[in-house]
Homo-oligomer: A and B are copies of this chain.
Amino acid sequence: MSINEISANKSFEGWHKQFTHSSSVLNCEMRFAVYLPPQMEQGKKVPVLYWLSGLTCTDENFMQKAGAHRMAAELGMMIVAPDTSPRGDDVADDDGYDLGKGAGFYVNATQEPWSKHYQMYDYVTRELPQIIEGNFSVSDKKAIAGHSMGGHGALMIALRNPEMFVSASAFSPIVNPMNCPWGQKAFTAYLGDDKDEWQQYDSCYLLQQAEQKTPMLISQGQADQFLVEQLKTEALEAIAHEKSAPVTIERHDGYDHSYYFIASFIEQHLKFHAEYLS
């Protein structure tokens, strides 16, 4: 459970830091980033927002581009950004940007050559929270958010762990990976052909099954180039409507899939989580 600080930048009177650690779940060395709000230096136990990034990202994209530190500092919220896959020279990979390193899809792989390292579901829901709670002065309140593949991860993990996360939010999430090219490619590789395996990682399926009480906020840009083929927001929207689930979906004209969209609405997302984390 020991972690190694490799960088520290003061930011909005708090700290952005990166750590490496040996992951027993992923069987490799991992890096993650945190934002530590100034309230932590004053000895206050703060709640934690886990942020899951999208395809090709590392822990760095969100911290550098989302402009989230300002509001996290104001709200007194720690942010934890893990990497998007296991890493290292002996970790299986693929030439595509949407499979292998940078594309873990937050599942526990069952298939060769992926299963040895690609256990991102367990990493995010079990090992990483233990590390955070063992090394930082945090409260037991947790929320989860993400973008695109990470939006899929955040909603899916919240749906499967209603006692663990008080709220979930997503920008441009892949809500129905079983029925889009990105999800089908990744699930086939990591999970094989067993659709029962696939379902447990599909937010539409999970929302259909259970009574969902975790409040969720989804922001979707209407000029997002992946909206129709990959994201399929309307599929989750229909199920949420049918089940009267506490899911708010906001569509924004003109916004695309980029971090400029995330930056434009991150304040709203952080305030949404703060309502449940406080």
Interface residues of A in 1-49 (CB under 8 A from B): 9-13, 16
Neighbouring B residues of A64 by C-beta, 8 Å: 64-65, 259
User: Do A264 and B223 touch (CB < 8 A)?
Assistant: no
- Which residues on the B side are within 8 Å of A254 (C-beta)? 10
Contact size range, A: 20 to 34
Q: Are B11 and A260 in contact (CB under 8 A)?
A: yes
A70 sits at the interface (CB 8 A):
yes
Nearest CB of B to A258, in Å: 5
Report if A129 contacts B (CB, 8 A): no
Judge whether A256 and B67 touch: CB under 8 Å. no
Q: A12 touching B264 by the CB < 8 A rule?
A: yes
* A9 and B264 alpha carbons, distance in the complex (Å): 11
Per-position binary interface string of chain A over residues 52-72, scored 1 when its CB falls under 8 Å from any chain B CB and 0 otherwise: 000000000000110101100
Q: Smallest distance from the beta carbon of A128 to chain B beta carbons, Å?
A: 23
B70 with A16: CB separation less than 8 A: no
A152 to chain B, nearest CB (A): 22
A residues sitting closer than 8 Å to B (CB atoms) are 9-13, 16, 64-65, 67, 69-70, 221, 223, 252, 254-256, 258-261, 263-264, 267
Q: Report, nearest first, the 7 A-B pairs whose CB atoms are least far apart.
A: A67-B67, A11-B260, A9-B260, A10-B254, A10-B255, A12-B264, A9-B258
Other contacts beyond A16-B260, A65-B65: 15, CB < 8 A: A9-B255, A9-B260, A10-B223, A10-B264, A11-B260, A11-B261, A11-B264, A12-B264, A13-B264, A64-B64, A64-B65, A67-B70, A69-B260, A69-B263, A70-B263
